[in-house]
Amino acid sequence: MLDLSIKNGRLVGVRPVFSGSILADVVSKTDPQLASVRGRAFPMPDAVAGRSGEVVKVDAGVSEAAVGMTVTGFEEVGGGEVNLNDAKIVVAGGRGVKGPEGFAPIKALADALGAAVGASRAAVDAGWIQYKYQVGQTGKTVRPDLYIACGISGAIQHLAGMGSSKVIVAINKDAEAPIFQVANYGIIGDLFTVVPALTAEVKKRLG
Total number of domains constituting the chain = 2
Per-residue pLDDT at 140 exceeds 80: yes
Of all residues in the chain, what percent carry a pLDDT higher than 90? Answer: 56
Identify whether residues 99 and 9 lie together within a single domain. no
114 in any annotated domain: yes
Report how far residue 21's alpha carbon sits from residue 189's, in angstroms, rounded to the nearest whole number. 27
The whole-number average pLDDT for the span 116-120 is 97
* CATH number for the domain harbouring residue 136: 3.40.50.1220
124 in any annotated domain: yes
58 in any annotated domain: no
What percent of the chain is helix, strand and coil (3-state, nearest 5)?
A: 25, 20, 50
- The model's confidence at residue 98, banded by pLDDT at 50, 70 and 90, is very high
pLDDT at 20: 63
51 in any annotated domain: no
Residue 150 near residue 93, CB atoms below 8 Å: yes
pLDDT at 104: 97
Whole-angstrom CA distances from 150 to 43, 58, 113, 137, 159 are 24, 48, 15, 18, 14
Identify whether residues 167 and 94 lie together within a single domain. yes
Residue 135 near residue 162, CB atoms below 8 Å: yes
The whole-number average pLDDT for the span 41-56 is 85
Identify whether residues 24 and 100 lie together within a single domain. no
pLDDT at 77: 60
Per-residue pLDDT at 126 exceeds 70: yes
Residue 93 near residue 110, CB atoms below 8 Å: no
Please write the tens of the pLDDT for every residue from 161-204. Answer: 999 899 999 999 999 999 999 999 999 999 999 999 999 999 99
48 in any annotated domain: no
The mean pLDDT value of the chain amounts to 89
Q: Which residues contact 24 (CB under 8 A, 6 or more apart)?
A: 14, 15, 16, 17
* Angle subtended at Cα 16 by Cα 90 and Cα 169, rounded to the nearest 5 degrees: 25
Identify whether residues 96 and 17 lie together within a single domain. no
Q: Which domain holds residue 23?
A: 1-37
Q: Which residues contact 4 (CB under 8 A, 6 or more apart)?
A: 11, 12, 13, 14, 35, 37
Please write the tens of the pLDDT for every residue from 58-92. Answer: 887 888 788 888 888 887 665 567 889 889 999 99
Identify whether residues 126 and 191 lie together within a single domain. yes
Identify whether residues 5 and 101 lie together within a single domain. no
The whole-number average pLDDT for the span 102-130 is 96
The whole-number average pLDDT for the span 49-65 is 86
25 in any annotated domain: yes
Report how far residue 84's alpha carbon sits from residue 104's, in angstroms, rounded to the nearest whole number. 17
Report how far residue 167's alpha carbon sits from residue 182's, in angstroms, rounded to the nearest whole number. 10
